[in-house]
Amino acid sequence: MRRNKGVVAHRDNGGGSVTLFDTDMVGDYHARPMPDSLQVQLNPIKLAARGERLSGTLQLKQLERLCRLLESDQGEVVGEVEFGTDLQGIKYLEGRAEVTLSLRCERCLQAMEWPLEAEFKLGMVVSETRELPESYEPLMLPPDEGLLSLGPVIEDELLLHMPMIAMHPEGECDPAVVDELRVLKSPGRENPFAVLDQIKPSE
């Protein structure tokens, strides 16, 4: 039986933005389409051929590798991706993702908010030997045009955009905490284990 072509409109409870979703794309998804979630499996080749766009969210707690680096797994990633084919015939996935993370400040060791934004443009390849223009990063596709999990792709890009060192802006750390840490790190502070260095083994 042929499926009727149509559009699903999703509106959040606050009357905010509407996400449009083409129900004719159902055959390219592993599960029922979820217009408000980017945690989906899809066929990137078919979506690129049609120039489709997706937008939605991911819960931080779903991104286990990223959460290992955080002080809290609470939060939401907002993202959008576009599939297409360029003039050279390269199929690509282009998008952006935004999230506010809870990281540990390296100066005061307290939790801090860190807005993170990742923009990416990935060229689809089926072999590591395939060369791409410099404007693309490679996206290795599953074998035999299998389904691609979009969540881990976005998680990879967020991990690549993580800061090497996270710190509060100058003057925003708790002065008392900073002073205490400075004393603990002071080279003149007596080492309580120094006496062990003076103990010589009996002959």
Per the document, the length of the chain is 203
What integer pLDDT is reported at residue 84 of this predicted model? 97
pLDDT above 90 as % of the chain: 55
In contact, 123 and 91? CB cutoff 8 Å: yes
pLDDT digits (tens, 9 = 90+) for 100-124: 999 999 888 899 999 999 999 999 9
- The mean per-residue pLDDT over the stretch 6-23 comes to 36
**Dist CA 84 CA 121 (whole Å):** 11
What integer pLDDT is reported at residue 198 of this predicted model? 52
Does position 35 have pLDDT exceeding 50, yes or no? no
What integer pLDDT is reported at residue 195 of this predicted model? 44
Does position 31 have pLDDT exceeding 60, yes or no? no
**Dist CA 25 CA 36 (whole Å):** 15
In contact, 30 and 147? CB cutoff 8 Å: yes
In contact, 128 and 170? CB cutoff 8 Å: no
What integer pLDDT is reported at residue 5 of this predicted model? 35
Does position 176 have pLDDT exceeding 80, yes or no? no
Residue 158 banded pLDDT, cuts 50, 70, 90:
very high
> What is the reported pTM?
0.71
Q: Which of 49-53, 55-59, 181-185 has the lowest mean pLDDT?
A: 181-185
**Dist CA 39 CA 30 (whole Å):** 11
In contact, 15 and 24? CB cutoff 8 Å: no
